Amino acid sequence: MRRGIHLQPVMIISGIFLVSIILACIFAPLISPYGPNDQNLEESLALPSPVHLLGTDRMGRDLFTRILYGGQVTLTSALGVVILSAVIGIPLGLFCGYFGGWLDALAGRICDILLSFPTLLLAFVFVSGFGRSLANAVVAMGIMYVPMLMRLVRSLTLVEKNKVYIEASKSIGYPAPRILFVHIFPNCVSTILVQLALDIGYAILGLASLSFLGLGVQPPTADWGGMLDEGRSFLMINPLLALAPGGIIVLTVLSLNLFCDGVQQYLDPGERALPSFGKYEKKAIREKRHG
């Protein structure tokens, strides 16, 4: 039997890890005495030491420092992808689900076309056509995430608009914008927030893939995907150059998925489980034996 959210150690651990990563990236200048682009060729490809916790890259830059500053770029970019998709996808899903008609049909066909192609493939085409830069990568990934979010919001709106309280709001004479944004949208927020949090993890992977292929963040800017690409050439000399950024990507995305799964179980009453009464049953049996 699954326990409540307050008893899930996996969710607690993942939440603590996420908070730690975010705080470490924010306070990177206070944690590390080095800058992300400070070079020292005399210490090129140095192994881990008290001076350089994870060693240095081929330019003598501190790897631990670049991971912290690269986290700022990666997490901020992933957040930008999610915000862009939310700004477009949420209102579009609300209007399509509530009004239907030609707008719903047109948006649905466009979403079908976009979803028929791999997300990263379309992002590659977009970035290649408009130029290699972080901004273009964020825009490309944000547009690619709109169809999935739009369909989620549309389905939630279809469920809510057929409920009694919406019929009552219409009978009172409330205008459609008020019904959409004051009554329907608040009842969909919890599910939307969980999906957006999951999308941050997917965006981290997508942006790291673009940077790994040289289509995202451009050198010398620190970025987890770009650092992974730089470090793969030196696996035999200092494996941490590739393992450290790759590991932080995996752990961050995994923690996001586990944390969002726990939140979803808490927000969905059907996913909750009643507390176990096993300890009370055992206590009653012991008392009966000794009684």
Q: What are the residue boundaries of the structural domains of the chain, listed by start?
A: 5-30+56-274
List the structure tokens of 81. Answer: 């992808």
Element (H, E) at 194: helix 185-212
> What confidence tens digit (pLDDT) does each residue in 112-125 have?
888 888 888 888 88
Mean pLDDT of 132-148: 89
Q: Which secondary-structure segment (H or E) carries 198? A: helix 185-212
pLDDT average, residue stretch 75-104? 91
The average pLDDT across 280-288 equals 52
Of 79-83, 95-99, 142-146, 287-291, give the lowest mean pLDDT range. Answer: 287-291
What pLDDT does 47 receive? 85
Going by pLDDT thresholds of 50, 70 and 90, the confidence category of residue 2 is: very low
Indicate the CATH number of 5-30+56-274 among 3.40.1190.10, 1.10.3720.10, 3.40.50.720, 3.40.50.980. 1.10.3720.10
Average pLDDT over residues 205-216: 87
Share of the chain above pLDDT 90, in %: 31
Instruction: Report whether pLDDT(280) > 60.
Output: no
**So what's the pLDDT on residue 248?**
93
For 230-255, b where at least 16 C-beta lie within 10 A, e where not — what string? bbeebeeebebbbebbbebbeebbeb
Q: What is the pLDDT of residue 25?
A: 92
From CA 144, how far away is CA 121, in angstroms rounded?
10
35-56 confidence digits (pLDDT tens): 888 888 888 888 888 888 888 8
Cα–Cα nearest to 263, from 184, 187, 195: 195
Mean pLDDT within 84-111: 90
- The answer, yes or no, to whether residue 214 has pLDDT greater than 80, is yes
Bigger pLDDT: 6 or 13? 13
Q: Is the per-residue pLDDT at 198 higher than 60? A: yes
Provide the pLDDT for residue 85. 93
Q: Record the pTM.
A: 0.83
pLDDT value of residue 286: 57
- How many residues does this entry show for the chain? 291
What average pLDDT does the segment 82-90 reach? 94
pLDDT band at residue 287 under the 50/70/90 scheme: low
Q: What is the mean pLDDT of residues 70-98?
A: 92
